[in-house]
Chain A
Amino acid sequence: MSRCEGATNVAPVPSPLWWEGVRVRGGSVLLVLLVMAVAGPVDSWGTSKSGTFQLGRVATPEEIQAWDIDVAPNGEGLPAGRGTVKEGAQVFARHCAGCHGATGVEGPNPKLVGGQGTLASDHPLKTAGSYWPYATTLFDYIYRAMPFVAPQSLTSDQVYAVTAWILFRNGLLEKGDVLDRDTLPKVRMPHRHGFVPDSRPDVTRADSRETSASSLGEIDFPTSGAPEAQKPFLRGVLLLHNFEYDDAQVAF
């Protein structure tokens, strides 16, 4: 349980002990001890009995279910329902083709089909078929965010169906295939093993601190001139020492 704190842009510190809090907040530990000695322990500040702040209330299973729509690669979270490639063609034509084109490649919005074998080329085409590592992600995204103008308006059956149709168009399902919570996670995606962890810093190494500095050097000493003249004056002296006579004249 963290407490009220004064830290700003510094690394987090462990929660203070109670007596540190007393010292910071206002006064000396001595004063507190004195008060306690005279009046006995005073518990006006109170403490948490559970170790928490006792804020918020327990969410009901119904409340959780209403929002818990994410689908994991192992299929966890997939709803009941089913859809075929054939049904998906109809759903796509009605709800998706307006933005993605009649066959999913005409646009204007992103192409959904093709691109396999292009990822290492100069013109990679990243689609569900060529790039997405999990079929479950396709379902999850359509279910939560599509169609763009009416998100979350499709039924589970419709989402299974249109997912099936997109995978079929990418050559990843047969025409007669059916998708449901059992079959969807089993679809093998071509780029499944194409992702690698972040290996940065990968370009420059942590050795650059010694490589460069001001080529002029640095000097500082007081002068009796006007304060606003100090900065250009010092710069002029530096430039003189570096044999930059023209620039030094400008500085002075």
Chain B
Amino acid sequence: MDKKTGKPASAEQKPEVSATDVMLTTRPKEPPTRRAFLTGATSMLGAAAAHVLLAPFLGRAADVPGDPTRVPGGQATEYGQRSSFERVKRLTRPQRSRTPLQDLHGIITPSALHFERHHNGVPLIDPARHRLLVHGLVERPLLFTMDELKRFPATSRIVFVECSGNSGKEWKGPKGKTAQEIHGLTSTSEWTGVRLSTVLAEAGLTPGVTWMLAEGSDAAAMTRSLPLDRVLDEALLCYAQNGEPLRPEQGYPLRLLVPGFEGNTCIKWVRRLKLVSAPVMTREETSKYTDLMPDGTARQFTFDMEAKSVITAPSGGQRLKKPGYVEIRGLAWSGRGRVEKVEVSVDGGTSWRTAVLQAPVLSKCHTRFCLDWWWGGREAILQSRCIDETGYRQPTHQELVSVRGTNSYYHYNAIQSWKIDEEGIVSNVQV
């Protein structure tokens, strides 16, 4: 921000009417005459006309009026866009993008900023041609259109989805710089769809069925086997996210959602559910999403995302400008249920205080926490730890590594430490 004008700074910005002048001018007692208006404010009128003509491009820095109360604003739009002043974005690689956790508020991740992970690109799918096949050990193999799936009773739930590879590089030391870079493969949305159990009941499960293979219609034909006894209660077949159809990178037009499970089990672009009596042992559940232990064995079907938290402010890459009040803010979540408590330390884990949990506190959902802090200008190490409703406490890095070594890559949920130096610069450390 430019302190003098109170406006966001912009190199190109050359307001024709000085913002300072306009902002400080008191409202005239008499309405200006037409002549005075034309001569005194021709440039403002021009700016207003430009606004009307350029409605779709509203808000370019060059168009910003000195005083928005004196210029007609933009027109209504069919599909809203964020302010052009806002630049927060995902951190992308070809097959993944990370949510800017440190720049977001509340618990809902905007759909456009929800993290993504795909195994051979985002497919382009015409919903009118998309079908869901339910077959295998069922009484009636059924084929559903999207319209039919939407006719079933609908259920909505606000839950997080987290990639099991989130924070995975931290096994081998403090590698990432920002909350987004380290922990950005988790996001929360309101998801709407039909219960998986409802659709399976339509096809009729036969005795002996214990697992379900879910397959996507992307170029990886992504597949996972899921144990029915663990997914039937809560899994949804979703067609909507935050009130509108799924984003393409989230599985448009249809995805599986298994609350609390690692993200890759929530098969996107799902086209086929095959009911079986044993896991199919696909590539993803053997060679990829398995956790290598120090003795050379590998844990398999490690579905649950264990309790985790991260302080998003202050966090890596940010800077406290001067000593004084800081609201410590962060997110906590658990794939096993509700967050019961979050504790925060400003001395590297020597002492802890209970953070305030902001409503709503929902099962298997990001939960916002905060805590007052007065930074004294000295070096500090901030940490948060999540305790979920099962009583499980988020472990330290050492606790985690002492049991699992450093080669398992997935399911890293250790306490995040942010060091604040005397300059107020925040960086990622492990203590």
Segment touching A, from B24-32, B154-162, B174-182:
B154-162
Contact A9 B221 (CB under 8 A): no
The interface size of chain B toward A, counting residues with CB under 8 Å, comes to 90
The answer on a CB contact under 8 Å between B301 and A57 is no
Q: Does A220 contact B (CB under 8 A)?
A: no
Q: A140-B282, A198-B304 are in contact. Are A70 and B274 (CB under 8 A)?
A: yes
Binds A, one of B33-41, B310-318, B399-407: B399-407
Q: Say yes or no: B153 contacts A5, CB within 8 Å.
A: yes
B207 at the binding interface (Cβ < 8 Å): no
- CB pair B296 A140 closer than 8 Å: no
- Determine if A196 is an interface residue (Cβ-Cβ < 8 Å): yes
Contact in complex: B297, A196 (CB < 8 Å): yes
Contact assessment for A53 and B151 in the assembled complex, using a CB-CB cutoff below 8 Å: yes
| Inter-subunit contact B143/A151 (CB<8 Å) | no
The contact of B143 among A63, A70, A144, A205, by CB within 8 Å, is A63
Contacts of A148 in B (CB 8 A): 120
Q: Across the two chains, which residue of chain A brings its CB closest to B364?
A: A9
Question: Per-residue CB proximity of A206-224 to B under 8 Å, as 1/0?
Answer: 1111011111100000000
Given the interface contacts A8-B157, A58-B142, A70-B215, does A151 sit within 8 Å of B120 by beta carbon? yes
CA distance A3 to B155 in the complex (A): 10
A186 / chain B contacts, CB cutoff of 8 Å? none
| Contact assessment for A196 and B274 in the assembled complex, using a CB-CB cutoff below 8 Å | no
B67-124 contacts to A (CB < 8 Å): 119-120
Which residues from 196 to 252 on chain B have a C-beta closer than 8 Å to any C-beta of chain A? 197-198, 201-204, 213, 215, 219-221, 223, 233-234
Inter-chain contact A64/B202, CB cutoff 8 Å: no
- Minimum CB–CB distance from B95 to chain A (whole Å) comes to 11
B10 at the interface (CB under 8 A from A): no
Contact assessment for A10 and B363 in the assembled complex, using a CB-CB cutoff below 8 Å: yes
> Contacts of A138 on B, CB cut-off 8 Å?
283
Q: Which residues of chain B are near A7, meaning CB under 8 Å?
A: 155
Asked if A17 CB lies within 8 Å of chain B CBs, one says no
| A73–B153 alpha-carbon span in the complex (Å) | 37
| Contact across chains for A70 and B148 when beta carbons are under 8 A apart | no
Complex contact B140–A58 (CB within 8 A): yes
Determine whether A22 belongs to the interface, using a CB cutoff of 8 Å to chain B: no
Confirm or deny: B302 has a beta carbon within 8 angstroms of a beta carbon on chain A: yes
Q: When the two chains form their complex, are residues B282 and A133 in contact, meaning their CB atoms are under 8 A apart?
A: no
Q: Name which residue of chain B comes closest to A3, CB basis.
A: B153
User: Judging by beta carbons under 8 Å apart, are B391 and A203 in contact?
Assistant: no
Known: A196-B297, A212-B352. A202 touches B143 (CB 8 A): no
CA distance A145 to B364 in the complex (A): 32
B287 and A132 form a contact (CB under 8 A): yes
Judge whether A137 and B281 touch: CB under 8 Å. Answer: yes
CB distance from A222 to the nearest CB of B (A): 19
User: Across the interface, which residues of A come within 8 angstroms of B221, CB to CB?
Assistant: 69, 144-145, 151-152
Query: Which of B152, B286, B364 has a CB less than 8 Å from the CB of A137?
Result: B286
Which of chain B's residues have a CB closer than 8 A to the CB of A250?
374
Given contacts A137-B282, A201-B306, contact A208 B393 (CB under 8 A): yes
A206 touches B286 (CB 8 A): no
Known: A12-B233, A64-B133. A216 touches B272 (CB 8 A): no
| B278 at the binding interface (Cβ < 8 Å) | yes
Q: A9-B363, A11-B233 are in contact. Are A134 and B281 (CB under 8 A)?
A: yes
| Most chain A beta-carbon contacts within 10 A, residue among B286, B340, B351, B407 | B286
- How far in angstroms is the closest Cβ of chain B from A111? 12
> Residues of B contacting A9 with CB < 8 Å?
157-159, 360, 362-365
- Assess the B299–A251 pair: CB atoms within 8 A: no
Q: Is the CB of B158 within 8 A of A59?
A: no
B20 within 8 A of A: no
Pairs across A and B, CB under 8 Å, 6 listed? A10-B363, A59-B135, A132-B286, A137-B282, A140-B280, A198-B304
12 extra interchain contacts, Cβ-Cβ under 8 A, other than A131-B287, A196-B297? A9-B158, A55-B148, A55-B149, A56-B202, A64-B133, A119-B296, A120-B295, A128-B287, A144-B220, A195-B290, A195-B300, A198-B301
| The 6 nearest A-B residue pairs measured at CB | A208-B393, A206-B391, A120-B296, A9-B362, A119-B296, A141-B283
